[in-house]
Chain A
Amino acid sequence: MRGYAHVYPRDHINTDEIIPARYLNTDDREELARHALEDLDPGFVGKVKWGDFIVAGENFGCGSSREHAVWALQGAGVGAVLAESFARIFFRNAINTGFPAIECKGISRKVEDGDELEVDLEAGVVRNLTKGEEYKFSPFPDFALEIMRAGGLLEYLRGREG
């Protein structure tokens, strides 16, 4: 995966900022995508390119259980979120949907807005192509990789039932 970084170094970026509840009267993913991160950065949807990354601080995705937050980011073209840490329901939703939520310590202080990044999920490495740096992250646990490889939890469940 390769793309440009959109850095929001703040901690506790919450689901109300990622997809405000005023848009939860629909689960249409294209419509949700038009409002991704609207209350944090109203310009985000206009500038994000397919495959770009969000880089953030601690506890990304805290608050509501709404999976709409993951769908909105996915739909807007975000390839992965790289954060210091994640809130647990967001993290779970991301795995279940096959969306990489990558916990990478120190990343919000090392990466600058607009840096080009390459993410290697299996190796657990983020390469900063702009700065020529590498950041390691803990690879996903096996069960999480299995779910992501299957394409999400429901595909995994169906595959297991054969």
Chain B
Amino acid sequence: MTITEKILAAHSDRDEVGPGDLVEARVDLVMCHDVTTPPAVSMLEERGMDRVFDPERIVVTPDHFVPNKDIKSAELAKRLREWTRRHGIRHYYEVGRHGICHALLPEEGFVRPGMVIVGADSHTCTYGALGAFSTGIGSTDLAAVLYSGRLWFRVPESMKVVLEGELPKGVYSKDVILEVIRRIGVDGARYMAMEFTGSLVGKLSVEARLTMTNMAIEAGAKSGIIAPDEKTLEYVRERSDEPFHVYTSDPDADYASTVEVDVSSLEPMVAFPHLPSNGRPISEVGHIPIDQVVIGSCTNGRLEDLRIAAGILRGRKVAPHLRAIVIPATSRVWLQAMREGLLEVFVEAGCAVSTPTCGPCLGGHMGVLAEGERCVSTTNRNFVGRMGHPKSEVYLASPATAAASAVAGRIADPREFLC
């Protein structure tokens, strides 16, 4: 069995499961945020089912439209807050202590190997970087799991993504995942578990791995997963005293397909509008002037990302006509970035530094695009209208490429800025 099959079997009291089997699995952890949870709570209330299976297994953070961007979003956040109080949900991260959910949960030690985790957000697949089965669900599924602690799953086929080689200068895990999605397409792993393996994975930090599993959904995958290694265990033990179980795939496990990438020959990648699969190596990008840069999100808003961006922005200035917006993904990242002097680097370069929010990634607030504007963003989607006007354009890239582009005022090769 694969790691994914083993985790699902263990959580549905079976010795063995295979792709296509329907299982009803126990869920270890449920992630809730301000956009998709209030409707789930309303569904339960309307049906006289307003209970939670276990308040200790629910983690809640408002992150999409906070600090509240308007009266309607304030009402959503209020409904979320009141629900956590009503049910004694302790793991609630109020604005000021909050963070973008997919950065916050691993950082706070809630994510451990071998768990089954669901969240009403498509990027819940992020947590697989720590060896958990983790997938995004809608509000009705969320209501069902909050009520019962269980959920039905179709056991997915697995796709093996074998990453070999050394990352060249200026190339990061974001470039790798954009290359993988370029090769297989936005539905290349539809319904599958993307299992990342190969000699590169062990060399990547846990934070860099989170960037790759985060974007498994952009290839249509149900989950992304990486077998735990020493780095994983160290990361988890620094953050949690709870027990966990490490699963790995058997050598003879079945895979529906295999994708092999030699990263040694990769260049920085830029995904052109309007699909994450429209990746191009930076040498083929040409001259594209831009209006805005966003560095942040559940994909690339962790400390390592900010250090990389600051490394390029230190002592340089953002292009005069351009807005650069930097958003540390969690309050803890924000504080550490301040202590390290990274925020000072950003502000001196002419960036706006925001409190944690998903805001601009989905055209919510804190950096919405006008008609015809172009943005280089470290986020995960560049669909039509994703960050604002339907006639605006989003180019996805790494924090290094985004920082270089902020200085150049056009899409730029970060290798020109690295010594």
A24 within 8 Å of B by Cβ?
yes
B72 within 8 Å of A by Cβ?
yes
The distance in angstroms between the C-alpha atoms of A96 and B140, with both chains bound, is 6
Question: Residue-by-residue, is A123-144 near B (CB-CB < 8 Å gives 1, otherwise 0)?
Answer: 0000000000000000001010
B341 within 8 Å of A by Cβ?
no
The distance in angstroms between the C-alpha atoms of A62 and B364, with both chains bound, is 19
Q: Which residue in chain A gives the minimum CB-CB distance to B35?
A: A24
Q: Which residues of B contact A141 (CB under 8 A)?
A: 22
Q: Which of A22, A24, A63, A153 contacts B122 (CB 8 A)?
A: A63
Instruction: Find out whether the CB atom of A92 lies under 8 angstroms from the CB atom of B64.
Output: no
A152 within 8 Å of B by Cβ?
yes
A85 within 8 Å of B by Cβ?
yes
Q: Which residue in chain B gives the minimum CB-CB distance to A17?
A: B384
B73 within 8 Å of A by Cβ?
yes
Q: Interface residue tally of chain B, by bracket?
A: 35 or more
Q: Which residues of A contact B152 (CB under 8 A)?
A: 143
Q: Which residues of B contact A89 (CB under 8 A)?
A: 122, 136-138
A58 within 8 Å of B by Cβ?
yes
Interface hit among A64-72, A74-82, A114-122: A64-72
Q: How many residues of A contact B (CB 8 A)?
A: 40
Q: Which residues of A contact B363 (CB under 8 A)?
A: 16, 20-22
Instruction: Find out whether the CB atom of A66 lies under 8 angstroms from the CB atom of B138.
Output: yes
The distance in angstroms between the C-alpha atoms of A89 and B143, with both chains bound, is 15
Q: How far is the CB of B30 from chain A (nearest CB, A)?
A: 13
A157 within 8 Å of B by Cβ?
yes
Instruction: Find out whether the CB atom of A65 lies under 8 angstroms from the CB atom of B191.
Output: no
Instruction: Find out whether the CB atom of B275 lies under 8 angstroms from the CB atom of A12.
Output: yes
Q: Which residues of A contact B35 (CB under 8 A)?
A: 24, 66
Instruction: Find out whether the CB atom of A16 lies under 8 angstroms from the CB atom of B187.
Output: no
Q: Which residue in chain A gives the minimum CB-CB distance to B68?
A: A25
B332 within 8 Å of A by Cβ?
no
The distance in angstroms between the C-alpha atoms of A97 and B138, with both chains bound, is 10
Instruction: Find out whether the CB atom of A59 lies under 8 angstroms from the CB atom of B190.
Output: yes
Q: Which residue in chain B gives the minimum CB-CB distance to A23?
A: B72
The distance in angstroms between the C-alpha atoms of A97 and B191, with both chains bound, is 20
Instruction: Find out whether the CB atom of A25 lies under 8 angstroms from the CB atom of B69.
Output: yes
The residues in A between 22 and 45 inclusive whose CB is less than 8 angstroms from any CB of B are 22, 24-27, 39-40
B70 within 8 Å of A by Cβ?
yes
Q: Which residues of A contact B390 (CB under 8 A)?
A: 20, 39
Instruction: Find out whether the CB atom of A93 lies under 8 angstroms from the CB atom of B190.
Output: no
Question: Residue-by-residue, is B356-386 near A (CB-CB < 8 Å gives 1, otherwise 0)?
Answer: 0000001110001000000000000101111
Interface hit among B37-45, B158-166, B290-298, B314-322: B37-45
Instruction: Find out whether the CB atom of B383 lies under 8 angstroms from the CB atom of A153.
Output: no
Q: Which of B22, B187, B362 contacts A21 (CB 8 A)?
A: B362
Instruction: Find out whether the CB atom of A24 lies under 8 angstroms from the CB atom of B141.
Output: no
B178 within 8 Å of A by Cβ?
no
Instruction: Find out whether the CB atom of A153 lies under 8 angstroms from the CB atom of B187.
Output: no
Q: How far is the CB of B373 from chain A (nearest CB, A)?
A: 15
Question: Residue-by-residue, is B110-154 near A (CB-CB < 8 Å gives 1, otherwise 0)?
Answer: 000000000011101000000000001111110110011000100
A158 within 8 Å of B by Cβ?
yes
Q: Which of A20, A58, A62, A93 contacts B141 (CB 8 A)?
A: A93
The distance in angstroms between the C-alpha atoms of A64 and B27, with both chains bound, is 21
B174 within 8 Å of A by Cβ?
no
Q: How far is the CB of A32 from chain B (nearest CB, A)?
A: 10
B92 within 8 Å of A by Cβ?
no
Instruction: Find out whether the CB atom of A87 lies under 8 angstroms from the CB atom of B187.
Output: yes
Q: Which residues of A contact B147 (CB under 8 A)?
A: 154, 157
Instruction: Find out whether the CB atom of A24 lies under 8 angstroms from the CB atom of B64.
Output: yes
Instruction: Find out whether the CB atom of B141 lies under 8 angstroms from the CB atom of A12.
Output: no
Q: Which residues of A contact B42 (CB under 8 A)?
A: 27
Q: Specify which of B43, B76, B138 lies most central, judged by the most chain A CB atoms within 10 Å of its CB.
A: B138
Q: Which residues of A contact B302 (CB under 8 A)?
A: none
Q: Which residues of A contact B187 (CB under 8 A)?
A: 11-12, 58-59, 62, 85, 87
Q: Which residue in chain B gives the minimum CB-CB distance to A161?
A: B148
Instruction: Find out whether the CB atom of A39 lies under 8 angstroms from the CB atom of B385.
Output: yes
Q: Which of B121, B137, B139, B220 contacts A59 (CB 8 A)?
A: B220
Q: Which residues of A contact B36 (CB under 8 A)?
A: 65-67
Q: Which residues of A contact B44 (CB under 8 A)?
A: 154
B287 within 8 Å of A by Cβ?
no
Q: Which residue in chain B gives the minimum CB-CB distance to A87?
A: B220
Instruction: Find out whether the CB atom of A67 lies under 8 angstroms from the CB atom of B383.
Output: no
Instruction: Find out whether the CB atom of A158 lies under 8 angstroms from the CB atom of B76.
Output: no
Q: Which residues of A contact B (CB under 8 A)?
A: 11-12, 14, 16-17, 20-22, 24-27, 39-40, 58-59, 62-68, 70, 85, 87-89, 92-93, 96-97, 141, 143, 152-155, 157-158
Q: Ordered nearest first, which 7 A-B pairs have the shortest CB separation? A: A93-B138, A67-B138, A21-B362, A96-B140, A27-B39, A25-B72, A59-B187
Besides the known contacts A25-B65, A92-B141, A154-B144, 10 further A-B residue pairs in the complex with CB atoms under 8 A apart: A24-B64, A39-B385, A65-B36, A67-B139, A88-B191, A89-B137, A96-B140, A153-B141, A153-B143, A157-B148
